[in-house]
Amino acid sequence: MSDEAGRQRVVIEGVEPEIDGGRFPIKRVIGERVVVEADIFTDGHDAISCRLLYRGPEASAWSQVPMQPLGNDRWRAELTVTDQGRWRYTVTGWVDPFKTWRRDLEKRVDAGQDVALDLLIGAALVRNASRRAEQGQRRADARVLAGLADDLEKGSDPETRLRMALDTELAALMDRHADRRFASYHRELEILVDRVRARFSTWYEMFPRSTGLEGRHGTFRDTEARLPYIAEMGFDVLYLPPIHPIGRAFRKGKNNALQAEAGDVGSPWAIGAAEGGHKAIHPDLGTLGDFRHFLEAAKEHGIEIALDLAYQVSPDHPYAKEHEEWFRKRPDGTIQYAENPPKKYQDIYPFDFETDSWRALWEELKSVVDHWVAQGVRIFRVDNPHTKPFPFWEWLIAEIKREHPDVLFLAEAFTRPKIMVRLAKLGFTQSYNYFPWRNTKAELTEYFTELTTTKVREFFRPNLWPNTPDILTEPLQIGGRPVFVQRLILAATFGASYGIYGPAYELMESTPRERGSEEYLDSEKYQVREWDLERPDSLRELIALVNRIRHENPALQADRGLRFHPADNQQVLCYSKTDDQGSNVILVAINLDPHHVQSAWVDLDVEVLGVPRDQPYQVHDLLTGARYLWHGSRNFVQLDPHSIPAHIFRVRRRVRSERDFDYFI
């Protein structure tokens, strides 16, 4: 044990937030607070001081914030992150002789004891602080402290000396130049800071090849023409399935038929053909120049393009011919295709990440991301990341974000909970999740309580999707329009980030390929589809309204402010979301029954809502425009799924103006 360690008397435990002992970073976006707490204590009765230390990605020196006591040796401080990249923070604490001396001096004075000797002890402490200030090149402070030490030691007026000893200015100077030689330090922890879109985003998924007219294969120019439609609905991220050449060997036909017929376009996830692989564009979509033009057009509409990152190849991919060492071979010498027994995917070869050439494979896969980043893409939806090694993802994401901290990765991993959590820890910005299969009041309450109030909220950002090209859940198949409306509102208000696969969603596509399947009949994964976007029953206007509500209310732009409120009907779910300042409060009451009118008495936590118990307050339904005057915690709701199954209330508190009339804010 070192000489210093033997005299480090302060213990630091229970630091929060801390993920797996500091193995992984917590996550924030620019402008968010990080509240840090720790148990900090020492032996005996000496007073201690403690600090939260932090530094941004480009900072070489630590900034510090004094930690405040919460009681029972628990301390707290907070910082605000202002730049993208990796931040560091830690906690330090030390026995503080001056703070101990000052505390005990006050007690002795209150007891009427003689403190002449105590003032001499204090003078020595102040003189030592003067020397530390001098050594730290703070000469002005050093002179002030030296003068105060002289006055404490030699001053003739006891009352003046005592007043000087207890002066807050002296306390601040002593705190600035405290003796930290034997300070204890916690290990350094990290914060991965992203741009705001990592926390709040509204996604729309669409197949570009289905944007052509009269059944023609769509192009990027056709997809550009669809941008106003998407923007009008309020989406800010447009996610495209793979845009690369599609293999011809073992190409799947319509409805996943094993044999393709003439004219079948195949699955976009069977990547690679004679025209190129992961860095190429399907020739029917256009050229790289067309793609860049499309990116710029999307930007003009306030839309960012997300590309699919699917690390797998078709048998026709150049990798399969030029780098056979990157794939697993079967006993007959052929490359092993993808399988999930009894299912076989002969049109896809997975990479062998245990190959002896794994380093070259990793670098090549990184170069795919580098290529599309160079074109201007900053968001990637990653296909099946749980089927690739964890060390690969940790390396890839860290390398990309080191060079381009604004790049975001969405993990499409509908898999076991611990695997999903691990991927989020490794660096994935957002994550698909179990929302599509959480339908009852109990399921939704339990799941979203876990996501928003436990430690997982420090690193797992859910992106909620009621449907995807792979997922048509049973409620969407049988519940009709009410379920599509219900699941839209749940996704958009539970999640700061959510998405829909369209136009299937707004047109309420609900026919499965066969009974018991979650696959769509005539799925776009295997064929070009035509969509009647002007259908009068489309949900596009409702979607636009819901997204406008999200953009106008900060409470819906984060996940942390979610709280549930009891309702006496199991078919009625009630919850609220509040922004950090408590100035924007959204209250949602929703009928989970798609068939019948349901009513309930809800018991609101008025403290959470920030409204008085004994005065009226207004709830403004942002879906219908209706306003209701409520009072206290217990109130009544009735919801008809065939008109609108939910209220999205803005809670408005009553205030009195200078002219002595009431209004609501």
Which residues belong to the active site? 383, 412
Query: Alpha helices, DSSP H only, in 168-274?
Result: 168-176, 220-232
CA separation, residue 583 to residues 29, 611, 633 (Å):
20, 11, 19
Contacts of 536 (CB under 8 A, 6+ apart): none
| Token pair listed for 241 | 């399935």
In the DSSP assignment, the letter for residue 361 is H
Contacts of 558 (CB under 8 A, 6+ apart): 199, 200, 496, 577, 579, 580
Around Cβ 187, how many Cβ atoms within 10 Å?
Answer: 11
| Token pair listed for 36 | 């840090």
Strand order from edge to edge, sheet including 33-41: 11-16, 33-41, 74-80, 68-71
CA separation, residue 391 to residues 86, 272, 328 (Å):
19, 26, 19
Question: Exposed (0-12), middle (13-18) or buried (19+): which is 491, by Cβ within 10 Å?
Answer: buried
Cα 430 to chain center, whole Å?
6
In the DSSP assignment, the letter for residue 132 is H
Give the CA angle between residues 298, 303, 309 to the nearest 5°: 90
Residue 515 carries which side chain, given as an amino acid letter?
R
Among 35, 31, 33, smallest CA distance to 15 is for: 35
In the DSSP assignment, the letter for residue 266 is -
| 312-333: b (≥16 Cβ within 10 Å) or e | bbbbbbbbbeebeebbeeeeee
Strands 646-652 and 616-621: antiparallel
Q: What is the H or E stretch that residue 422 is in? A: helix 417-426
